[in-house]
A and B are shown apart, each in its own frame.
Chain A
Amino acid sequence: MAKLVGVDIGGTNTDLVYVDTDARALRTAKVSSTPANQAEGLMNGLAALGVPLSEIDLIIHGTTVATNAVIERKGAQCGLIATRGFRDVLELRRRDRPQTYGLIGQFAPLIERRFRREVDERISAQGEILTPLDEAQVREVAQGLAADGCEVLVVAFMNSYANAAHERRAAAIVREVWPNRYVVASSDIFPAVREFERTSTAVVSGYVQPLIERYVSRLTNRLAGDGYEQELLIVQSNGGVMSADVSIRYAANTILSGPAAGVTAGASIAQELGLPNVVSCDMGGTSLDICVIRDARPDLAQQKLLEFGVPLCIPMLDADAIGAGGGSLAHIDSAGILQVGPKSAGAVPGPVSYGRGGTIPTITDANVALGILAPDTGKPAEATTVALDRASARAAIEKEIGNPLGLSADAAAEAIIKVSVAKMGGHVRRRLLEKGLDPRAFSMIAFGGAGPLHANRIAREVGLKSAIIPWFPGLTSALGCILGQLRHDFVRSVNQTIASFDSKALVSVYEELSTEGEKLLQEEGVEKNEIAVMLGADMCYRGQTHVLQVTFPAGAPLNAEAIKAAFEATYQQRYSLLLPDQDIRIVNARVTVLSTRSAPEVGPLIKVPEGSAPAPSFAPITFEGRRVEAKVWQRHALPRDFSFTGPAILLQHDSTTFVEPGYVATVHPTGNLIIEAGK
């Protein structure tokens, strides 16, 4: 493969990266997103790249179509067939409420009750058939739901994780009468215990499937119409990629497609720099997404709450967002204490300094007020592309924050940054501690529009080893699309214990899942000898509810001793105290298959200048209550191995990097900037 394009579609911008590995060429483009039809922005972006489509070998794409459909409740009309007595599982959730205090939360399930129907059937927790499936009822109910305008049909029966026979049979009957192929059985999507989570996962999957199919086929047609004849790959929530065809079958796997690509890029940078422990920090306008990456492998999560009452249980990168971005609003709460976020100014009206009508100061405005964003070097050519209005930012900060707290505009701006950095840092630290990890052993890879501006501050707050700023911080996600491997994750409920270990049954589950995965990869054009298989399990002590994800060492035997040892090693790292007298449960078997084809090396395409650094400009900034002169450079003018001490500001097309006084930044030969505490 030689000519690749990665496309990341965000809420505001569509970013593209073009890589020609043979000609060692790299191009980028940034165009406005077109939320109504994302394909529009994508086509505009391809045009902006200026590469004829017929010359491109592969386009890889991260999309937010599925996420937006759930959040905006714009998915397909689904119907549900449930076990008699259980059609309301989706609506009852797990008996909870959105906020701990205040009893005014509301909830609307993805399928309204009138489209949820029941049939006679029942299977026990042990998998025995207690009530046979009434096939005539299935047919009748399905026909009714089709007549009522449902496009997708989801079958979710009780205990189908223990025995999927009824669900499979019901799905087969539905397919006979259903007008399209949108029929989903819960045990096909997530064959694990807990009816609410399994049903919800199946429903989310059905809810987004037609949208993904329509989007992907519309996009494929437009690309073909413009001369593109190669394959389109879609980024999955697990950081891997899949073919457009497969993405239609596994539509729910695209839910975290957008953020996943950035994490993949982070993992690749960690590998390039030989860093075993990093946290990727993707900070844009509204949120900060973080993910822990160990040995160049991002952590996976098995469940995420897409919003209150809508869990999704598929393997996803364990990326975790909080409402802290450049646009996060500062305000004084009712106790008279300064708070920043989680509300954001969004694209409209945006920060005060953008001059689009915003009046409430944001984190961006605080940086503008302090002279760090759009630094005043006296040379207008060095300003960022957007003209930022420092005077109005300062006025708003003084009025909204400074006056109520008795602080000057400068002090109030620094307070906004301090409070938000403490919050972001707290978030990073908590994620590490939850996993039993020591922050001092971790570096941060900071990208997104606002990441490089705060990376140094967050790294100091948390006590991280260093902060890494990629060469193209604003295009990291687009680049990550190119770096993902074809990959699929499978899960199957096994429910064994170490004390009553059944090696034969377990081995056959792993074999079955591995075969299924290899088949899928081969369908996507991967040769058998290019496939790696990784085995693992969700395990816990008998009686525990929360499972630990355990990865079995490569080549380890599937016997009780080895599996127990792998569990105890993971448990000890996370919680310290083992429970030696407690039996151990293997709840789910997990198999990951991935293509071992090497990803294109982007490193050699980045042309870091050689020689000596140009003389910096200087701009006044406020830092810790003092006015200091910061050095200002164009980022891409700095030569490899060049080292300098903060305070310094690096400007580039879509991002600004800030280096604090007392910190040393070095341009790594790969183009990444490494910021560390000075001696």
Chain B
Amino acid sequence: MTTTEQKPIDPTTLAVVRGAFEQIAEEMDTVLAASAISPVIADAWDRASGVFHPVTGEVIAQGSTGLPIFIVVMQHTVQEVIKAHPPDTMKPGDVFIVNDPYRGGTHVMDVKFVRPFFQDGKIKAIIANTGHWPDVGGMTPGGFTPASTDVYQEGLRFPPVRIMEEGKMNQALLDVMMLNMRVAEDRYGDMAAQLNALELGCRRLDEVFRQWGDETLNRCIDELKLRSEMLMRNHIRTIPPGTYHFRDEMDSDGVEEGRVVIDLKMTVEGSEITFDLSGSSSELRGPFNSPISSTITALMIGMKHVFWDVPINAGCFVPFKYIIPEGSMFNPRPPRPVSGTTTETAHRLVGVTMGALAQAIPERVPAGFFGTGTNVGIGGNSPMYGRYATIFFFGGGYGGHADGDGLTNGSTTIAASRNSSVEVLEQTVPLLFTRYAVRDGSAGVGEYRGGLGVEIDFHLRDGEAYFTLVGDRGTAGPHGLVGGEPGLPADHSFHTAGKTFKAPHLTKIDRLYLKGGDGCSLKTPGGGGYGNVEDRDPKKRELDRMNGYVA
């Protein structure tokens, strides 16, 4: 076979083109967060944007402030759109909507918009974004429930369909959407924000393609993919070959009492890794199943938290193989419920991945982190506030590591989202918080201790409400490493009608009925310790004591 001689791609162009694609993804993220209605998008940055290959749907670049959970998910979403609507049937101005967890998704609240980018009549790239909508219908306001038994209960599902056809809104679809969601006018605002961001993305891509030309860009895209793959392979080669086994348990699946097992065998061979999750629980009755896209993303996030310099594009996913049997909780079949995947299951799988890695390279991996989203959903009616529904969530401690103590009140590891301020919550819903504090003594001790968990007390001021908690990590705390102690597990209690009690599922409770004065006391886990506590710097020990961090 003869090919025309190709000069290697010039390194300056490569560097500049990479920057240009990342820049576009970040500009889309910026615009989306700035104009969204949902505080989960605007304030907590629960959103992501990316540029994708027009034929394969592979990710070319994603924004650096986008949520980690979407690094693989978005690529799968775009690929599902391509499967349903081959690129030669797409037209300029088309925008697809999709949120089906079983079509490259997470949970139904993550609503994705996918738009082909055309130039001179040709499709040259696909751009997409996702935003967490506070409600898409379903049995529980806010969508997070520990009690759903099928995905139909969790909200309205969209297969990949056109919400805009050649620039024109699909009004029929929009009308159906708006009728089936709570506070629908806010969702229109979120959709407008997502569409605006895609519009900006198309404008910027237009400039970039005109500046560099298709051929150069396509060669850069191929080269960048290759570079990421090589870099990931080089990192994997530094891990001693072998099989590393890590096992963790979740409190329950929310419906049936009894532990859920996450079991990972990670086999490192040369520059490749095989993740085997076949020892984990079978698909669950409750909503803590993880759709396959979320599962693979969580494994990748675990790697990325250790090898964070690998740029995200399709190349960094190449050196991995998976053994995740269909029918496992990590590869469930429809219509199994999945709404707990992002708050708990995926978060924990990241921890399990890092736990397995730590056995091979403990000097480069922190001890266990808090590992639970501790997600509160509340909806009700109040004389003072009227009808309301909202969700909020809490952080916990990160693990100690070879360079220092863990971070106190870190964000969930599958996200980088911030939580709402107490004052904003008190403006929005009739809750009164009486404590929002560092949880003393919650960190695992060690040469480097874990970060601390958080303690939150609040109650309903008036009216009546239904309160739902989706959490986990109530039985065993985050693991310590190389002689460090584990952090404290979560410890939640509830009080209604003057009685204080724990939940049968410890960290999960579904639609608890509250009246004025009823409420809860939540305590999130601290991170695991790293190294032997005997080796801790006495000065740090003294400071910990003076500041009340340790008992």
Contacts and interface: CB of A to CB of B under 8 A. Distances in A.
B551 interface: no
A545 interface: yes
Interface in A97-136: 97, 99-107, 112-114, 122, 124-126, 130
A309 B8 CA distance: 44
Contacts of B549: 113
Interface string A567-581: 000000011110101
A102 B364 CA distance: 10
Nearest to A422: B16
A124 B436 contact: no
B12 A415 contact: yes
Contact of A101 (B31, B304, B427): B304
A134 to B, nearest CB: 15
A336 interface: yes
A88 B185 contact: no
Contacts of B38: 543
B236 interface: no
Contacts of A95: 393-395, 409-411, 418-419, 454
B230 interface: yes
Contacts of A158: 422-423, 433
Given A97-B407, A97-B416, A423 B19 contact: yes
Contacts of B461: 124
B376 to A, nearest CB: 13
Interface string B203-214: 010000000000
A52 to B, nearest CB: 53
A430 B23 contact: yes
B495 to A, nearest CB: 16
B424 A193 contact: yes
B96 interface: no
A540 to B, nearest CB: 9
Contacts of B8: 406
Interface residues of A, number: 73
Contact of B12 (A93, A414, A426): A414
B416 A575 contact: no
Interface string B247-260: 00000000000000
Contacts of A414: 12
Interface-central residue, B30, B34, B422, B423, by most chain A CB under 10 Å: B423
Contact of A546 (B35, B234, B434): B35
B52 interface: no
Interface stretch (B85-93, B306-314, B512-520): B306-314
Contact of B43 (A126, A545, A577): A545
Contact of A541 (B30, B189, B394, B436): B189
Contacts of A147: none
A575 B34 contact: yes
Contact of B189 (A101, A159, A579): A579
A197 B12 CA distance: 42
B432 A130 contact: yes
Nearest to B134: A543
A87 interface: yes
B154 interface: no
B12 A114 contact: no
A333 interface: yes
Given A87-B437, A338-B11, A159 B426 contact: yes
A411 B12 CA distance: 9
Interface string A524-568: 000000000000000001011110000000000000000000000
Contacts of A107: 407-408
A193 B228 contact: no
A320 to B, nearest CB: 12
B494 interface: no
Contact of A335 (B39, B230, B411): B230
Contact of B27 (A86, A433, A543, A544): A433
Interface of A: 84-89, 91-97, 99-107, 112-114, 122, 124-126, 130, 158-159, 161, 193-197, 333-339, 405-407, 411, 414-415, 418-419, 422-423, 426, 429-430, 433-434, 495, 541, 543-546, 574-577, 579, 581-582
Sort A-B residue pairs by CB-CB distance and give the 9 closest, nearest first: A95-B395, A101-B308, A85-B435, A545-B42, A94-B418, A113-B547, A125-B426, A415-B12, A95-B419
Given A103-B398, A130-B432, 12 more contacts: A86-B422, A88-B437, A92-B438, A97-B416, A194-B424, A338-B15, A339-B15, A405-B11, A418-B12, A495-B427, A546-B35, A577-B195
